Amino acid sequence: MTLTLTDLPADVQDEVSKTRRIVADLHAELPRWELVVWTAGNVSQRIRCADQIGEDLFVIKPSGVSYDQLGPTQMVVCTLDGAKINDGTPDRLQPSSDTAAHAYVYTHMDHVGGVVHTHSTYATAWAARGEEVPCVLTMMADEFGGPIPIGPFALIGDDSIGRGIVDTLKDSRSRAVLMQNHGPFTIGKDGRDAVKAAVMCEEVARTVHISRQLGEPLPIAQEKVDSLFDRYQNVYGQPKK
């Protein structure tokens, strides 16, 4: 039976409301960082509520709606099988066409709290060639712990894309995967972390492409990549609260 938001415990309803605001605001980051044209990108964030209602939920944008029309009340709430709940939005409002992919990632990667998909230019150009972005920048070692891998060609609309993302990232430190002939999908501890991974993925895809136009970039020794990744993930920035 389809869940009804207003029947859920008050604390879950509060978390849904907060997450809707977060996900709506994160969608503004996609055009801000020039990661999308038109509506060609989406963000979602998990709600960890299995202890209260027996399953997690996630919030994702509605399909094909312009970013300047996206507010918290348009954000769609789904179960981890990708089904929209009775979330207060009009029945006709459909979730993103990538909802099944996001749902598959949340189901099979419990540590993931946010998923992003874009068609950002340089990352998508690497995806079109089916070539991983080699780890030749300290920024890549910091952020991705190695190369940005290529995922398989997969048609939209069922579990194929989600399965390709999980199969590629489950044994990788990278939070980004370039789905062949399609574009980048990124994961993170939350939606903002996944958006950051999408921003950094496009940045390094552009830089490495330019470097290759000048000559052959130099690889970084694996032990140096490991050291850079460890520092950035565990020391960089301000002390964790």
Ligand X SMILES: O=C(CO)[C@@H](O)[C@@H](O)COP(=O)(O)O
Choice among 98, 104, 106, 142 that is catalytic = 142
Counting Cβ atoms within 10 Å, is residue 7 exposed (0-12), middle (13-18) or buried (19+)? Answer: exposed
Q: Which is nearer to ligand X, 12 or 78 (CB)?
A: 78
Among 17, 63, 74, 211, binds ligand X (CB under 6 A): 63
By CB under 6 A, how many residues form the interface with ligand X? 10
Smallest separation (angstroms) from ligand X to the CB of 14: 26
Could you give the CA distance from residue 100 to residue 81 in angstroms, rounded to a whole number? 7
Smallest separation (angstroms) from ligand X to the CB of 95: 8
Q: How far apart are the first and last CA of the chain?
A: 41
Per-residue DSSP letters for 111-136?
Answer: T--EEEE---HHHHHHHHHT--B---
Site membership for ligand X, residue 28 (CB under 6 A): no
Q: Which stretch binds ligand X (CB under 6 A): 69-77, 93-101, 164-172, 223-231?
A: 93-101
Q: Which is nearer to ligand X, 32 or 224 (CB)?
A: 32
Could you give the CA distance from residue 112 to residue 101 in angstroms, rounded to a whole number? 13
Site membership for ligand X, residue 124 (CB under 6 A): no
For residue 237, give every residue at least 6 positions away whose Cβ sits within 8 Å of its Cβ, in sequence order, or none: none
Q: Which is nearer to ligand X, 28 or 50 (CB)?
A: 28
Site membership for ligand X, residue 172 (CB under 6 A): no
In the numeric block, which tokens belong to residue 136? 């030749």
**Secondary structure class of 17 (helix, strand, coil):** helix
Confirm whether 236 is a catalytic residue.
yes
Q: Is the dihedral of CA 59, 63, 68, 74 positive or negative?
A: negative
Q: Which is nearer to ligand X, 49 or 77 (CB)?
A: 77
Among 98, 132, 143, 202, binds ligand X (CB under 6 A): 98
Site membership for ligand X, residue 207 (CB under 6 A): no
Confirm whether 122 is a catalytic residue.
no
Q: Check if the beta carbon of residue 185 is closer than 8 Å to that of residue 43.
A: no
Residues engaged in binding ligand X (CB under 6 A)? 39-40, 42, 63-64, 96-98, 117, 156
Question: Which residue numbers are catalytic?
Answer: 142, 236
